[in-house]
Homo-oligomer: A and B are copies of this chain.
């Protein structure tokens, strides 16, 4: 299957699964469930779930075994966007080409909506079947630690505190590791765990996810400079306005592009233990992310 067809089909499968897992938009109390559907079904690319499913596939697992974790990852990602967009944080009006949650439902409801999505990610995770090598507790520990104050939330804290501060490249990498790479790495890890991956498979996919996550954030920083708001679906040029340290700001646009290419190559190299055929899809995805319009 051609990559673009595959990505579309997988995103559709993830959306269908999420529709089945989530409470209906009409469920009582209605406002919060409507808000949850509004932000979840806004046409996201479903990158994290797709990586989770692809990791499961690379290890020879069954897609259905990875689906609860795949959807849990997307809910955690979406909650972090809803809260990051709040006026008290990044204060953004636009996300995935639509008004942000608090613009439509108000700030209080947006806080609760994010809370509900975060909580729901663990409702989903509790549906996962333990694999031989990995208990249900291992899955929960993986996602919870990644979402915690040491990783995802810690990254947002550093990001907030880093505004108007001139960061070094090392400081920037530290934020990117926590804010972006950790959840991408967990996407690969949870997919691998759901297929009962061996320790060496898990380690290879972790490294792939880590490097891919760093590359992804460098590319995101570049796109913020070079693309239009319309194309991004979120406010472009935002980083410069709030004087946020980004890759292009710290090392320049050309060096940033080179860095993204290097990280992507390193990510692909991490897949060597899988051989060419088994790792093909993951390599295709990595190449595709690097070639996003910028």
Contact = CB atoms under 8 A, between A and B. Distances in A.
Contact of A136 (B136, B149, B154): B136
A115 interface: yes
Given A119-B148, A120-B149, A125-B140, 4 more contacts: A23-B150, A88-B110, A109-B160, A119-B147
A61 interface: no
Contacts of A116: 148-149, 153
A83 B137 CA distance: 27
A49 interface: no
Contacts of A128: 137
Contacts of A156: 112
B112 A114 contact: no
A121 to B, nearest CB: 8
A161 interface: yes
Nearest to A146: B119
Contacts of A32: 149, 153-154, 157
27 contacts: A23-B150, A29-B154, A29-B158, A32-B153, A83-B112, A86-B111, A88-B108, A89-B112, A111-B111, A112-B153, A112-B157, A114-B115, A115-B115, A115-B118, A116-B153, A118-B118, A119-B149, A119-B153, A120-B144, A122-B140, A122-B143, A123-B148, A126-B140, A126-B144, A127-B137, A130-B137, A140-B140
Interface residues of A, number: 53
Contacts of A110: 88
A31 B108 contact: no
A145 interface: yes
Q: How many copies does the complex hold?
A: 2
A155 to B, nearest CB: 9
A67 to B, nearest CB: 15
A222 interface: no
A88 B161 CA distance: 22
A5 interface: no
Contacts of A136: 130, 135-137, 140
A33 interface: yes
A88 B106 contact: yes
B157 A31 contact: yes
A128 B23 CA distance: 27
A119 B33 CA distance: 21
